[in-house]
Amino acid sequence: MQKKLLAVAVAGALASPLAMAQSAVTISGVFKVGIDNYRVSNSTRAGNKSETRVTDNSSRMIFGITEDLGGGLSGIAQLDARPQLDDAGGNFAESGNTWVGIRSTSLGTITLGRHDLHYGKQPDDTAALAGALMAASVSLMDFTENGQAIAGATRTSNVIRYDSPNWSGFAFTAAYSTNATGDEADLSSTQRKGNAWNFNPSYTTSNWQVGWSHWRRKADAPSAAGTFTLNATTGVVAAGTPSAGSADQESNSFYGFMRFGAIKVGLGINQSEVENPLTGAKTQDRRAWTVPVSWTAGPHHLAGHYTRAGDDDITGNESGANMFAIAYSYLLSKRTSVGLTYARINNDTNAAYNFFTNTGGLGSTSSTMTNGEDGRLLALTVRHSF
């Protein structure tokens, strides 16, 4: 009798409007880990010049939430958690594209939170399946020769983002950040207020795409970071290179691709400037381009790119680099693949480009390149999506 009453109580609870879930929740993501060997050459450093590592390649668990509000409106949210499977590092719960917003089938989507903006727009498939993330053309396309990341080369914080509907292939993103580099620090401060914005229109069909992304960031309280010191008497700003958080940035990225059957050929061009936020003087001004190519046939996927960063107009001669990468992956199933990646960066005498996420991200803490060093990466990677 008690079992029958319990069953009735449970059924009643499930039927209650208070207990029924009103939102649809989906769980997806990818676990991607590899074993790689990283080596530097053309180096004068003492000690070891190579290391073998187990490296997470930006594994993620994505919780997507949607509620139908009627009239073509939906309430939407996403939690993009990024566990580092090799050593449990990082900010697991908050490091990904995480946001909440409203979607309209006719008017577009507005979201508030953290978003990838501007960087990585080039159509490079090298790291798409089992290829190593470090081999991506982002390594040169979205950095300066001294390692400054354009648009952070990661998620932008404090974002208000609008995504238009897709009008027969044409769409655009417009985003504004109240402070792209961290928490706000405006109240009771005599320093400048910062912000960032991104505008990114594109046109995409089944066989080709063209797009343009513009990024502009004004640092929040730039002198508070200690990178620049303004002498009130002489009006002279102390010499120094802007840090990633205190510099102003402006960047344009032009990109596109064409498909020829199983072959996809792309092109990306990036022009980026870094400015002293106290004087407005440019401290970096460089152009980079990449040609990514990929081929898919059944379970086989082959992708690679050649990328060149030119000499910086401010830094001067011998401040460029070139990069070559190729990755082959084999699909064991629709969700599981294994891959092999080879990548190389050749720095000019006054450049220190490095593999994407190799230092201070998913790689090892001692793997910073110095001016003129070259890097080689060889990786075997396993990927499982769900």
Look at residue 18 in the predicted model and tell me its pLDDT: 38
DSSP letter assigned to residue 178: S
Look at residue 89 in the predicted model and tell me its pLDDT: 66
Q: Is residue 111 included in any domain, yes or no? A: yes
Q: Is residue 116 included in any domain, yes or no? A: yes
Whole-angstrom distance, CA of residue 267 vs CA of residue 310: 16
Q: Is residue 324 included in any domain, yes or no? A: yes
Q: Are strands 99-104 and 155-163 parallel, antiparallel or unpaired?
A: unpaired
Q: Which burial class, exposed, middle or buried, applies to 175 when counting CB atoms under 10 A from its CB (0-12, 13-18, 19+)?
A: buried
Look at residue 28 in the predicted model and tell me its pLDDT: 97
Counting every residue written for the chain, the total comes to 386
Whole-angstrom distance, CA of residue 96 vs CA of residue 115: 8
Nearest CA to 127 out of 37, 213, 30, 196 is that of: 30
Q: Is residue 352 included in any domain, yes or no? A: yes
CATH number at residue 238: 2.40.160.10
Per residue of the chain (386 residues), what is the pLDDT tens digit? 444 444 444 344 344 443 344 789 999 999 999 999 999 999 888 888 999 999 999 999 999 999 999 999 999 999 999 998 988 766 666 689 999 999 999 999 999 999 999 999 999 999 988 899 999 999 999 999 888 899 999 999 999 999 999 999 999 999 999 998 777 777 777 777 889 999 999 999 999 999 999 999 998 877 544 444 433 333 333 444 445 457 899 999 999 999 999 999 999 999 999 998 878 888 899 999 999 999 999 999 999 999 999 999 998 889 999 999 999 999 999 999 999 999 999 999 999 999 999 986 788 888 989 999 999 999 999 999 99
Q: Is residue 16 included in any domain, yes or no? A: no
Look at residue 22 in the predicted model and tell me its pLDDT: 72
Which range of residues forms the domain containing residue 196? Answer: 25-385
State the total domains in the chain: 1
Whole-angstrom distance, CA of residue 286 vs CA of residue 312: 4
Q: Is residue 6 included in any domain, yes or no? A: no
Q: Which burial class, exposed, middle or buried, applies to 354 when counting CB atoms under 10 A from its CB (0-12, 13-18, 19+)?
A: buried
Look at residue 137 in the predicted model and tell me its pLDDT: 98
Q: Are strands 336-347 and 374-385 parallel, antiparallel or unpaired?
A: antiparallel
Whole-angstrom distance, CA of residue 68 vs CA of residue 23: 8
Q: Is residue 146 included in any domain, yes or no? A: yes
Look at residue 13 in the predicted model and tell me its pLDDT: 39
Q: Is residue 249 included in any domain, yes or no? A: yes
Question: How many other β-carbons are positioned within 10 Å of the β-carbon of residue 105?
Answer: 11
Using CA atoms, how far residue 212 sits from 126, 163, 268, 346, in Å, is 21, 15, 10, 28
In tens, the pLDDT along 107-140 reads: 999 999 999 999 999 999 999 888 999 999 999 9
Q: Enter the pTM of the model.
A: 0.87
